[in-house]
Structure 1
Amino acid sequence: AVESQPLLNQLQARVDHCRQRSQGISQKPRVGCLEWTDPLMGAGNWVPELVSLAGGENAWGKVGEHSDWLTWEQLLITDPDVIVCMPCGFDLNQTQEAVRDLAAAHPLSWQSLQAVQAGQVYLTDSNQYFNRPGPRLVDSLELLAEIMHPELFKPVYASRGWQRFSGS
């Protein structure tokens, strides 16, 4: 039999590390996590809690509730500081293609978003992170923390788990 307690302790220590490092942040970015791009869907379930633990203010969705559909107007009104794209089941290449299509469908208003102007739109490998409950959610938490607060968290997941969106 495999003893699970050491693994559980390691996972909890990683969560606690993120929570403690992000606790003192005075300016928490407003983070919009998109679970789907056509139609738009703001991530719910466990993602809002991950955003909070990583030191952000969640823009859409509620902890423990299903993800909400969003209109384009809701995205524009919310105008988050950071947009993290995590389409359910998509790897980085698929996510990049979906976000390029989203930007191309709304070129002027996409460019008006403060996250786009500031280069704060991120693509994730949602097939590996975010979309399934389990131990990988701790990786997802760390991934969000390094996206939102690169000054506090070293980029462990950069390029394999996430990348900055550079297209328009």
Structure 2
Amino acid sequence: MPSSVVLLLYLLAGASLGGVMLLTGIPAGPLLGAILGAGLLSISGQLEIAAWPLGTKTVLGIGIGTVIGTGINRETLEELQLLWKPALVITFTLLITGILVGLLISRFLGVEKIVALLGAAPGGTIGMSLVGAEFGVGAAVAALHAVRLITVLFLIPAIVNFLAPVGGPDALK
């Protein structure tokens, strides 16, 4: 089957389940649905692994970064003046925890150290997978982050809804 047809089928699978998840109202549902749709098609073994054209992931990464970047404005910077201390605590806690978990996974579960460290590192699936690819372990790192991302996207909204009384997110304060 031509690679362009394979890509189209993966895109259709991702878009279909992403569209269905959009209807659920789950935060980041379309992203989660697209991951699951394309992933389930890939796992099924009905198609060969998608071969994306050179530079596609870079272009998509730039697009995602641009979408996130457009959300940064003066209000964001004003909030950061109040939140810089918690931001540093969160960042360093996640880094230290990621390193410790990575080392423990490597030692006790026999996972290659570079895979365990990059897989446990805080960060996005794309970014960590690209770093992993530079070390020759991109697929393994992507797999770890995909499981993490899917789990987080399913659980965190439910946990936030459980912990936030009827008053919404401000009620958590």
TM range, smaller chain = under 0.3
* Greater C-alpha radius of gyration: 2
Give TM-score, length-normalised by structure 1: 0.28
Q: Higher helix share goes to which structure?
A: 2
Give TM-score, length-normalised by structure 2: 0.27
Q: Higher strand share goes to which structure?
A: 1
